[in-house]
Amino acid sequence: MSQPARDMEIQAQQAAVRSLKRLIGGVDRNSRRKYIQDFLRDFDRYQETASYDDLVVKGFRSDVIFIGDYHALPACQQFAARFLADMIRRSSRVVLALEMIYGRQQRILDEWMAGAIDDDEFLRRIRYDEEWGYDWPSYRRVLETARLAGIPALGLDCDPRTEFRAIRQRDAYAARRLAETFVSAPDAKIVVLVGESHLARNHLPHRLARELARRQMEKRSLTVVQNVDSLYWQRAREGREDAEVVRVSPGRFCIFNASPLAKYESYRQVLDRWRFQSEDDEDEVDLTPTLHSMIHTLLRFLRVDRHRHVVETRGEIPVRLVDVLPEVYAHEEPDFIAGMMRRHGLDEERIEQVLGHLERSGSCYIPRINAVFVGTFDLAHAGEEASHFVNSALKGELYEGWNDGWMAGHDRFYGAVMDEAIGFFGSKLVDPARNHFFETDFYRYYGRSREEVEARTGYEYDEFKAIIDFILLHKKLERDYRRRRMVPDAILEGLRSTGGRFRILTHELGYFLGQQIYDGYHRGLVTHDEIGVLYRSRWNDPGSALAAYLDWAERLAPLAEG
């Protein structure tokens, strides 16, 4: 991928992040404080790429391991649970210390760790929602990892948590708690899960070193932060997106498990949830800014000005893209969604397809209504629906869509495949960490026994085998279709499929191609202009969708083989 193309993609993503941070900035005004700036300066560049195994080895050789936690992002707690488990497997001396629990709540924590009280009582007694308020299942996973292993957990924080001017006081308190633990258990290996800003060199790590020195003790430390913006952008500019870990300096690393957009969006949603909870309405979270921000990210990448781009002309009045951004409905009942689709002329088969897609993927864009329905929010799938909207808008099919009854079987099939490919490509621009092969069970269970396939995938074995055989045969056919005189019957049967079989076949082929196009763009095999043409292409002429699919698949075949 050329550097200008890479820079263009990064700039589009950074613009989306800035927009999202401005929304957050109205609530969180602490980002400019010296304490936060100390952290940002300490983690502004990395020295080299590393690996997760490097972290494990370094952790095994360390006495205290600081893990930076972006509280609103569940991926951070998931990593903490994973790393804690790896330390437990290698040492019997592990202690877990958490910022989320006050030191004064240690007894309550001990009761929960011993199984003497259940979750409801534990959360009520520590006033979890009032004092912490982040996603409990994510933090429970960390605590449960420790509980199952029978290792102790330590509350690390003190009041006042909400007063930023007291943050250094809280560092001093936490350092004392940790030092006292080492006094009582000199051989302990303490895994500390604490907010990332506490981990500048002159913050909690420095405080702990000073407390230990007072006790004539010295301990080896490891600091692991997660998804730091400056390091993420440096990695992207250098084309090292595959590097999961980077080394900032000896003893300090950063691991990546989410994009900046995912990180700040998680925080925005938490802020929204807190705001609604304060209004006694816990179920409402406004996802409209989220979807529209994703759309703006894609439009910036495509160099489309939403304020100038004309979608259609009604009479003599141009309708600009900014005026047709989709409506977003979150957590609506199926009857409401079905009723809206009926009012817009969609038949029962389409309604069933949408509801099924919404259940499987969490979100669904409907061009006929120009609306996105969100059941369970997922960044990648929401990005896919944003991409579908941009595709529909740029090719002039808003308030149309699915008028494909006239199409021949293969035209309908490959039109759907190309739509899936564009949707997946756009979702990768929004969330580059997305990988289709980690999302699907087809490739994971290929070659497994009948019993395991049926138990794990939800498909009958013969149906599963027919689907995966079609996909593999199709990918093989793409490499030598010019030399073939006849199309295999299995392919023709797949092209004539309907219902669930049609959905899964077009979905799998489309996602596969979307990944290839994204990889091809990054490697310089696909130009930015070609992506723009792809988003604007309509597949109305007979054979046009098939021709487009074969052209892209043939060009990018080396990526599939590699």
Q: pLDDT for 36-52, tens place per residue?
A: 889 999 999 999 999 99
pLDDT at residue 57, as a whole number: 95
26-30, 47-51, 100-104, 132-136: range with lowest mean pLDDT: 26-30
pLDDT at residue 529, as a whole number: 93
Q: Other CB atoms closer than 10 Å to residue 34's CB: what's the count?
A: 6
Strand partners, 249: 252
Q: Please enumerate in sequence order all residues whose Cβ is within 8 A of that of 429, keeping only pairs 6 or more positions apart, or say none.
A: 9, 12, 13, 297, 298, 301, 383, 387, 518
Amino acid, res. 525 = L
pLDDT at residue 97, as a whole number: 97
Q: What's the pLDDT band for 27 if we cut at 50, 70, 90?
A: very low
Amino acid, res. 464 = F
Whether the per-residue pLDDT at 334 is higher than 80: the answer is yes
Query: In terms of Cα–Cα distance, which of 423, 321, 307, 421 is closest to 365?
Result: 423
Percent of the chain with pLDDT over 90: 42
Q: pLDDT per residue over 175-193, tens digit each?
A: 999 999 999 999 999 999 9
Token readout for 156 is 């690390």
pLDDT at residue 364, as a whole number: 87
Q: Other CB atoms closer than 10 Å to residue 524's CB: what's the count?
A: 12
Q: pLDDT per residue over 493-535, tens digit each?
A: 877 887 778 888 888 889 989 999 999 998 889 999 999 999 9
Strands of the sheet containing 94-102, edge to edge, are: 48-50, 245-249, 252-255, 221-226, 64-69, 189-195, 94-102, 153-157
**Element holding 55 (H helix, E strand):** helix 52-60
More confident residue, 440 or 12: 12
Q: Estimate the share of the chain in helix, then strand, then coil, as percent rounded to the nearest 5.
A: 60, 10, 30
Whether the per-residue pLDDT at 72 is higher than 90: the answer is yes
| 308-313 average pLDDT score | 83
pLDDT at residue 403, as a whole number: 46
Q: End-to-end CA distance of the chain, in Å?
A: 17
Mean pLDDT for the chain overall: 86
| 210-237 average pLDDT score | 95
> Contact at 8 Å (CB) between 475 and 554?
no
**Overall residue count recorded for the chain in this entry:** 562
Query: In terms of Cα–Cα distance, which of 116, 132, 20 is closest to 72?
Result: 132
**495 phi and psi angles, rounded to 5 deg:** -70, -25
Q: What's the pLDDT band for 26 if we cut at 50, 70, 90?
A: low
Query: In terms of Cα–Cα distance, which of 486, 485, 487, 441 is closest to 467?
Result: 441
| 22-47 average pLDDT score | 79
pLDDT at residue 405, as a whole number: 45
Cα–Cα distance measured from residue 274 to residue 254, given in angstroms and rounded to the nearest whole number: 29
Whether the per-residue pLDDT at 555 is higher than 50: the answer is yes
> Contact at 8 Å (CB) between 327 and 319?
no
Q: For the stretch 160-193, what's the b/e string if a residue is b when 16 or more beta carbons lie within 10 angstroms of its beta carbon?
A: eeeeeeebeebbbbbbbbbbebbeeeeebbbbbb
Cα–Cα distance measured from residue 80 to residue 61, given in angstroms and rounded to the nearest whole number: 18
Write the DSSP assignment of 38-49 as a string of letters: HHHHHTS--SEE
pLDDT at residue 282, as a whole number: 43
More confident residue, 514 or 437: 514
Cα–Cα distance measured from residue 154 to residue 193, given in angstroms and rounded to the nearest whole number: 10
Q: At what angle do helices 528-536 and 499-522 cross, to 10 degrees?
A: 160
Percent of the chain with pLDDT over 70: 90
Cα–Cα distance measured from residue 517 to residue 513, given in angstroms and rounded to the nearest whole number: 6
Cα–Cα distance measured from residue 150 to residue 133, given in angstroms and rounded to the nearest whole number: 26
Cα–Cα distance measured from residue 20 to residue 93, given in angstroms and rounded to the nearest whole number: 42
**Element holding 459 (H helix, E strand):** none
More confident residue, 155 or 562: 155
Q: Please enumerate in sequence order all residues whose Cβ is within 8 A of that of 66, keeping only pairs 6 or more positions apart, or say none.
A: 192, 194, 198, 199, 204, 205, 221, 222, 223, 224
Query: In terms of Cα–Cα distance, which of 81, 431, 140, 33 is closest to 266?
Result: 431
Query: In terms of Cα–Cα distance, which of 67, 193, 191 is closest to 132?
Result: 193
Write the DSSP assignment of 248-313 as a string of letters: EETTEEEE-SS-HHHHHHHHHHHHHHHHHHHTT-TT----HHHHHHHHHHHHHHTT--TTT-EEEE
pLDDT at residue 560, as a whole number: 61
pLDDT at residue 498, as a whole number: 79
Query: In terms of Cα–Cα distance, which of 285, 295, 237, 286 is closest to 261?
Result: 295
Whether the per-residue pLDDT at 369 is higher than 70: the answer is yes
More confident residue, 561 or 315: 315
Q: Report the 3 state secondary structure along 504-553.
A: HHHHHHHHHHHHHHHHHHHCCCCCHHHHHHHHHCCCCCCCHHHHHHHHHH
Strand partners, 95: 190
Cα–Cα distance measured from residue 238 to residue 167, given in angstroms and rounded to the nearest whole number: 35
> Contact at 8 Å (CB) between 521 and 5?
yes
